[in-house]
Amino acid sequence: MPVSHPTVYEPLTEQGAIALAIRLGLFPEGTPLACREIGDGNLNLVFRVVDQQTKKGIIIKQALPYAKVVGESWPLTLKRSVIESNALRTFASYVPQYVPKVYYSDESLAITVMEDLSHLQIARKGLIEGKTYPLLSQHIGEFIAKTLFYTSDFGMNQQEKKQLAQSFVNPELCKITEDLVFTDPFFDHETNNFEDELRNDVKALWDDDKLHLEVAKLKHKFLTEGDALIHGDLHTGSIFASDEETKIIDPEFAFYGPFGFDIGQFFANLLLNALSRPEQQQEPLFAHIDKTWNVFVSVFSDLWHSHNVEPYAKTEGLLEEVLHYVFIDAIGFAGCEVIRRTIGLAHVADLDGIEDKEERLQAKRHALRLGRSLILQRETLSATEEIRSLFAQAALA
């Protein structure tokens, strides 16, 4: 049966993905190809097209015009596909070792064709299985430091930065974060999703004026601070890993945002995994948080001294001031992420996968108390090592 070659948007089928791979010349003629839709995220279709003989493949990711996690009732811009491919290309210009290669992208079809990373595992899945990924924090710390520095007013021409920021204006995807991370979980909103047994704990958050004020400040930073090109959704499901390699995927939420946001989301998702583990297996997660921060500070500071374009860079105290607010913001953003992944629309398998109901509820209560402490106590912390004691205190009812 002849397969048509669409040039206007329509969702791909597995056969359509094979036809596209052939049309793009990504495989030699006559290659026996197989394809499977493997997307398990909240938003997109992901096709893996494989040469059945060599087992080498490519990934074709296609945005759907709605949020898959909710359905067609939640329309969503296809432009996120261009944001994603452009973000991957921008990140690749600074840290090619940490992102998949982009082979092709097409705005009208909302597709990005990229390197197949199936030899790696989604970090969230591996962490749930108890893996520790020894190089994860070294790599993520370096990825964040370099991408933030080089796309900021410290690391690039300040006029070009404004142009680049314009090309990453991403209002619809930012709105998802503004609502799902910073707003809905803190109010009685229909998108929230939690067990009935947690209602009293959740209601306490909804009635907590002190907490609301701090979350409002963090949300305001997310709304207004355009420090650098951030990934915008750097949870452990956006990371492929092995013991040797790390690749960051899915930057469809990328935009010019606050320095601390990606660090905070990454910390939060390590903490969500720690919450799902027995106490004696939690330390590697805390160690990853420490190392991510230490690597970030070291790489960002080296670049600051060697590649800074801002005349005030040598002014005593400026770097320390920037690092101080990145740290405090990251801890606060982490708190919001921990809370929203527990009671908001988009949960994480780390917590939802705890089979025993009582244990699961206990872990979720612990998460809510931890998220609240991270937000309220962020300005009292001076080092990531102190997160361990916040975590321990939050375990006590």
Which of the ranges 8-16, 40-48, 97-105, 168-176 carries the binding residues for Mg ion, by CB under 5 A?
40-48
Smallest distance, Mg ion to C-beta of residue 333, A: 17
Residue 394 three-state SS: helix
Q: Report the distance separating Cα 337 and Cα 332, nearest Å.
A: 9
> Closest residue to Mg ion, Cβ-based?
250
CA distance linking residue 61 with residue 252, whole number of Å: 11
Give me the least distance between CB of 186 and ligand SR1, in Å please.
Answer: 15
- Contact stretch for Mg ion (CB under 5 A) within 5-13, 41-49, 77-85, 314-322: 41-49
C-alpha 168/C-alpha 253 separation (Å) is: 9
Residues touching ligand SR1: how many (CB under 6 A)?
Answer: 10
Long-range contacts made by residues 19-24, C-beta under 8 angstroms, separation at least 24? Answer: 20/60, 20/111, 20/113, 21/49, 21/58, 21/60, 21/113, 24/103, 24/104, 24/113
DSSP per position, 245-272 = -EEE--GGG-EEE-THHHHHHHHHHHHH
Is there binding between residue 192 and ligand SR1 (CB under 6 A)?
A: no
Smallest gap from residue 147 Cβ to Mg ion (A) = 17
Pick one of 180, 326, 334, 349: the residue that binds ligand SR1 (CB under 6 A).
180
Rounded Cα gap, residues 383 and 389, in angstroms: 11
Tokens representing residue 352 in the block: 């939802």
Contacts to ligand SR1 from residues 200-239, by CB under 6 A: 233
Residue 87 in contact with ligand SR1, rule: CB under 6 A: no
Residue 176 partner contact from Mg ion, ligand SR1, none using kind-dependent CB cut-offs of 5 to 8 Å: ligand SR1
Binding residues for ligand SR1 restricted to 6-45, rule: CB under 6 A: 42-43
| Smallest gap from residue 177 Cβ to ligand SR1 (A) | 6
Query: Which tokens sit at 22?
Result: 């052939």
Nearest to 357 by CA among 128, 130, 195: 195
Of ligand SR1, Mg ion, none, which one sits near residue 69, judging by CB under 5 to 8 A according to partner kind?
ligand SR1
**Contacts to ligand SR1 by CB under 6 A:** 42-43, 67, 69, 176-177, 180, 233, 345-346
